[in-house]
Amino acid sequence: KALTAPTSCQSPFLAPAFRLFTAEDGTTRTFKALIVRDSTFPEIVQQCEAAKMILPEPTTHEFNEALVQFWTVNGRWRGDLPIGMAADWASLSTGEVAGFHQFRHQRPPIGQIDHYALLRQNGEWYDDMNEKRVNSRALCLAEITGDEIVEEPKLFADWIWSSVQSMKKLNNTEELELQLASSGFYECFEEGDCDYSLNGNKDKLQDQLNNAPAYFAGNIVRMYPGKHQYMSTRNNNFSNRAQKGTIIVNSPQILP
């Protein structure tokens, strides 16, 4: 009963799809996720509906715990999460009264004012009657069937050369991604495979990469055909267009 997510870079508004294990036989439910920012509860509902998605509706303890895990990034809670339970504590999508809830005490009474349920970091719910409350972040979900699941496209076909002289092998492109994402601060995952590993380096990378090397000689790679987006991992708070761009790799032409 756990949750997994791809490790690729996230858009500010799109979260990676996540898989939620709810059944005892290990059956997996997969969802795609959309992050909505700076919106009131009614606005969040409208944006979810426009995307043909719904607010999270935790119907089991496992689902509730998985949402808490998913909403905690690098140990940091993203803020109280609006969930799809409203009038009479019924599901917004089905109108059915929820058989499961995580209110700290009994379900709060419902009057003539609409109530909204929010999920806290400890997994408990509480209700809010202020529909004008602006939520800095909220989440829309849509369940994906097995036929709709698309394998995440791969970026690097071959890792040909690295400027990191301590690298003992170039067969794990996830370590290449680690180098690029950290601007050369980390060189590999495991201690013993390089001089500055993620798991062996006592120094930690600062959130804005301020302690990353000012210069990184980089790598030589062969990329898969496709359209790839890139951005600089340094000084990304600036709007310099030169820091972002597109790489288009065409399939090799076979000459007669």
- Given a contact cutoff of 8 angstroms between Cβ atoms, the answer to whether 32 and 14 are in contact is no
Report d(CA 223, CA 217) in Å as an integer: 18
8-state DSSP, 116: E
Mean pLDDT by 10 residues, the chain (256 residues): 32 52 73 87 90 89 89 85 82 81 79 76 88 87 73 77 89 88 88 87 80 85 84 58 75 59
Structure tokens at 153: 């496209």
The second-level CATH assignment, the architecture, of 3-148 is Roll (3.10)
DSSP states of 165-192 as a string? TT------HHHHHHHHHTTTS--BSSTT
Q: What is the pLDDT of residues 77-128, one digit of tens each?
A: 989 999 988 767 778 888 888 788 888 877 777 665 567 889 999 999 988 8
Q: What is the pLDDT of residue 11?
A: 34
Structure tokens at 80: 């109280």
Cross-strand pairs, 140 = 34
Domain layout of the chain by residue ranges: 3-148, 156-249
- Given a contact cutoff of 8 angstroms between Cβ atoms, the answer to whether 16 and 10 are in contact is yes
Whether pTM > 0.95 for this model: the answer is: no
**Cβ neighbours for 214, distance < 8 A, ≥ 6 positions apart:** none
Report d(CA 151, CA 158) in Å as an integer: 19
